[in-house]
Structure 1
């Protein structure tokens, strides 16, 4: 029997507790899980790719079978083939996510027929958490600690020089 290798991709700008919940739960379903920070070199995020990777690695340090990787201007299926991935993992918060992800899964299956997509429902407490909302809260110096791992709070303080308001 061959190993089950998963790949969960996103921009993680920044990583949220919702992301971590999906990642950790997915890691229990596979033998190896890659978390891929996928980015477009022509689009600037709030955090550099290196910062995103550092925050993810710090947040996942206790999970040895999870490895953080980066990919620039690549299709997930191409990286999956290179890594021997058997399962793409996707998180779903709502019906809008489902429609988008189902469409993506259709094309991914067409491109790589033996690559399975697995959908995990977001835990209720994280259903409304999104990186875009976190970036907005950071912009207005609001408290983000309830929505992100400590590594993100620390990085915000380091990069933007402000403590989170309580």
Structure 2
């Protein structure tokens, strides 16, 4: 069985993430979506909320998608999951430079696990969770970047914490 890991904070999950997830799932028999606990990114949603969001958004993709959280080195997590592949999405050259360096370091940690890069669909390349949160926090429309359900989640959270423009 070919197992891949698609790691990320998914705070929130965007249409770009969903594009990479759908395409990455075609490359493996089982795709583990690893929701990371990266406090340096100042998450809007808790790990549990992000996992629930990803599960809801991938519910129609069948049993090949597994959503779990992790708080460890990616390569240790991938090894525990039995993965032979890390799936990463690329949007721009800046992404490539960072991801290329990370793939090299990960290869040093575990040469048995390959990193596969998928280019985001051209229409989705500018989407970043950080920007979605920023736009929403200023009252902007995010419906072109996330599903309706995620839009509702983000807008509700923005109301709870208050708009930046206020």
Paired with 2:41 and 2:134, the residues of 1 have a C-alpha distance of 17
1:96, distance to aligned residue in structure 2 (A): 1.0
Residues 43-122 of structure 1 mapped to structure 2, 5 A cutoff = 44-64=42-62, 65-72=64-71, 74-122=72-120
**How high is the TM-score relative to the length of structure 2?**
0.90
1:160, distance to aligned residue in structure 2 (A): 3.6
1:18, distance to aligned residue in structure 2 (A): 0.3
1:94, distance to aligned residue in structure 2 (A): 1.2
Gaps of 5+ in 1: none
1:53, distance to aligned residue in structure 2 (A): 1.0
Which has the higher mean CA deviation after the structures are superposed, 114-123 or 151-160?
Answer: 151-160
- Could you report, residue by residue, the CA deviation over 1:3-41 in whole angstroms, capped at 9, with x for unpaired residues? 110001111111110000000000011000011111135
CA root-mean-square deviation = 1.5
Paired with 1:100 and 1:67, the residues of 2 have a C-alpha distance of 26
Paired with 2:115 and 2:143, the residues of 1 have a C-alpha distance of 31
Gaps of 5+ in 2: 161-166
Relative to structure 1, the CA distance from residue 105 to residue 42 in structure 2 (aligned partners, 3 Å threshold; closer, same or farther) is closer
Which has the higher mean CA deviation after the structures are superposed, 128-137 or 152-161?
Answer: 152-161
Relative to structure 1, the CA distance from residue 43 to residue 91 in structure 2 (aligned partners, 3 Å threshold; closer, same or farther) is closer
1:47, distance to aligned residue in structure 2 (A): 1.3
* Conserved? CA contact 2:127–2:145, under 8 Å: yes
Relative to structure 1, the CA distance from residue 148 to residue 87 in structure 2 (aligned partners, 3 Å threshold; closer, same or farther) is same
Paired with 1:112 and 1:54, the residues of 2 have a C-alpha distance of 30
Aligned residue in 2 for 1:40: 38
More helix by share: 2
